[in-house]
Amino acid sequence: MERIELSIPGEVPYEIVLGQGILPFLGEELEALSVSGSLMVITDTEVGKRYLPTLKNALEKTGFQVSVVTVPSGEEAKSVQCAAEVWRAMADCKLSRDSYVLALGGGVVGDLAGFCASTFMRGLQVVQIPTTLLSMVDSSVGGKTAINLDLGKNLVGSFWQPVMVCADISLLQSLPEREWTCGCGEIVKSAVIDSPSFFDWLTSHSDGLQQRDPEVVQEAIKRCVTFKASVVTRDKNETAGVRECLNYGHTLAHAIEAFSGYGVYSHGHAVAQGMRFASRLAAGLGYCDFDFVCAQDELLDRFGLTEITLNGSSEELLALMKVDKKVRHGVLRFVLPFDYGVWEVQDLSDELVDQYLQAWLASQQH
């Protein structure tokens, strides 16, 4: 078991607990944090069937009172309607300011539970228990919470740090291949924007990660979490221009997800397309060379994050990108790579982005 501390200025430090077989001992971990009061577990229908009994037993054997809210599986749970149902359940269960919310699931559950906890009674404490590779390497760490609107993804949300993240990698062995590949997309993203050493390590251990070798998986998660922690500690609320690097590939990715319909492409697969596009933008502007673009493409291909074909226009995608949270005064902003671990956020004109979108869409037809 490994413990990675995330210490953010103005926040209580918390740990990301990483290892095998942690879930059955979560009650003891919460006792060590001096957690008291009632607990509410928020999970989804699929994860609940598999892991809720183990979690409930772990909590109840240490004397905690536990209530459970189960939401639908999938992106549809990140809705205003679903959030309202969770708030109602919190009120019905008489949660109070000393209650804790435990998010048992992937990124959707983590986002929804975190957002509802951050807003109910002006804030309840949260424990993140990620059950997917994507949520372990990314969304469970850093305090971003959100729900979707019809206009776009993650448009309503808050920054709300958890008191602990419990990443039990034994939960990943049964993860469907699509979800595994999705998480690999975020791992490649982290490697590209972190450092040459992370990118080289991932390139040399790609087979082990695909085969779900426990040691390789744990090391990959550790590297991602350590990198993200170093970013978040310097820019908690994404106001200092540091945390924006974590959005590499996401400007186009969110547009692809909205255009195609949430769930058609996994988030990681959409991010991979966004990374391909952003690297070509950067190369065209002279920021990085095409060796960088090719190396990134090759690593994405190794994980099955291949190019997709979109039956849409550049105008449609551009309009969706304009809803992106990084937009300032109506101007698109892209995280552009110069090299591994070297990047800048650039304001780009609609005309320039449209030109590259047209070329990117045309290349998919060949």
User: From the candidates 223, 243, 280, 333, which is the catalytic residue?
Assistant: 243
Q: Strand 144-149 to strand 152-159: parallel, antiparallel, or no bridges (unpaired)? A: antiparallel
186 is catalytic: yes
298 is catalytic: no
Identify the active-site residue in 15, 29, 179, 186.
186
CA angle, residues 254, 257, 260, in degrees to nearest 5: 145
Distance (Å, whole) CA 328 – CA 244: 13
Which residue type does 269 have? H
- Catalytic, 154? Answer no
The reply to whether 88 belongs to the active site is no
Catalytic site includes residue 302: no
Active site residue 189: no
Closest CA to 180 of 147, 152, 213, 154: 213
Among the listed residues 247, 269, 276, 325, the single catalytic one is 247
Among 78, 267, 269, 333, which one carries the catalytic annotation?
A: 267
In degrees rounded to 5, what are phi and psi of residue 209? Answer: -70, -40
Q: Which among 122, 177, 351, 366 is annotated as catalytic?
A: 122
Task: Report residue 202: phi and psi, to 5°.
Answer: -65, -40
Q: Which of 228, 236, 269, 276 is catalytic?
A: 228
Q: Is 257 a catalytic residue?
A: no
Point out the catalytic residue in the list 238, 257, 269, 325: 238
**Strand pairing partners for 67?**
40
Say how far apart CA 289 and CA 284 lie, in whole Å: 9
Catalytic annotation, pick one of 56, 153, 223, 254: 254
Amino acid in the structure at residue 204 = S
User: Can you say whether the dihedral through the CA atoms of 9, 198, 1, 177 is positive or negative?
Assistant: positive
Quote the crossing angle between the two packed helices 267-284 and 250-260, to the nearest 10°.
Answer: 130
Strands 144-149 and 39-44: unpaired
Q: How far apart are alpha carbons 112 and 312 in whole angstroms?
A: 30
Which of 56, 250, 269, 276 is labelled catalytic?
A: 250
As beta bridge partners, residue 332 has: 348
- Concerning whether 122 is annotated as a catalytic residue, the answer is yes
50 is catalytic: no
267 is catalytic: yes
Catalytic residues: 122, 144, 186, 228, 238, 243, 247, 250, 254, 267
